[in-house]
Amino acid sequence: MSKRFSSLCVMFAFLGLFLFLGASCAKKQVQVTEPPKAAPEVKPEQAPAPKAEGEDAAAKEARLRAEKEQQLEKQRKAFESENIYFDFDKYEIKPEAKTVLQKKAEWLLANTRYSVRIEGHCDERGTNEYNLALGERRANAAKEFLTALGVPGARISIISYGEERPAVQGANEEAWAKNRRDEFKLIY
């Protein structure tokens, strides 16, 4: 819980910083664009001033949105590119996978409009049907871990691909180890 709170604080701190930076940039731009427009004789209280201010706010907002979106895109990529891995014929979450899942849980709790699809995979050894069931267990194990950390179960779906979608080709332990995995796909 305290971890969750501190991560929220960090998120807000970042947000504050963006707002500040965004605002200062916008002001500079206004100084450059204002003078020529200000020349014609118009009543001070009328249209131009609010319009300028409106543009100002819109630009600011757009920039902020773009920056935030850029930041989010990075976070999404990081989230989706980090798999967790399993031992042969096992679906227990290993200690290093727990760290990964904790990070994912924090992010999901901070970004509530995202759902996640967990895809369970196996290495090519064994038979499809057993591996389909094993892949589902691997996906379910990650789901249970995330829900235990407070991510609502309704935001998590699972699918098993068994041995049908290997991450890497190869008939050796190195390849097999990379294929015994859960992948995490964001849905939004």
Partner 1 sequence: MRGSLLSLISVLATLFIFYPMEASARIFIDINSPFSRKFAVAIPEFRNTSPQGSSQDLGEKLSRVISNDLDLSGYFSLMDKGAFLEGNREGEALNFKNWSVIGAELLIKASYSSVGQSLEVDLKLYDVYWGRQILGKRVLGETHRHRELMHRLSNDIIRLLTGYDGITMTRLAFVGDATGNKEIYLSDYDGHNAAQLTSDKSIVLSPRWSPDGKRIIYNSYRDNKGPKLYMRDLSTGAVRTVSGRSGLNIGATWSPDGTRVALTLSEKGDSDIFLIDLNGNIVQKLTDHWAIDVSPSFSPDGSRMAFVSNRAGGTPQIYVMNISDGAVERITFESKYCTSPSWSSRNRIAFAAVSQGLLDIYTIAPDGSRMRRVTSGTGNNEDPCWSPDGRYIVFSSNRNGRYHLYLTNEGGDHQRLLTNLPGNQTAPSWAP
Interacting residues with partner 1 (CB under 8 A): 89-90, 125-130, 132-134, 136-137, 140, 158-161, 164-165
DSSP states along 81-149: H--EE--TT--PPPHHHHHHHHHHHHHHHH-TT-EEEEEEE--SSS-HHHHHHHHHHHHHHHHHHHHHT
- Based on CB atoms, which residue is closest to partner 1, 70 or 128? 128
- Based on CB atoms, which residue is closest to partner 1, 72 or 133? 133
What is residue 6's three-state secondary structure? helix
What is residue 45's three-state secondary structure? coil
- Based on CB atoms, which residue is closest to partner 1, 85 or 161? 161
Min separation Cβ 2 and partner 1, Å = 31
Min separation Cβ 128 and partner 1, Å = 6
- Radius of gyration over every alpha carbon of the chain, rounded to an integer in angstroms: 24
Min separation Cβ 136 and partner 1, Å = 6
- Based on CB atoms, which residue is closest to partner 1, 64 or 118? 118
**Within the chain, how many helices (H) and strands (E) appear?**
5, 4
Min separation Cβ 156 and partner 1, Å = 13
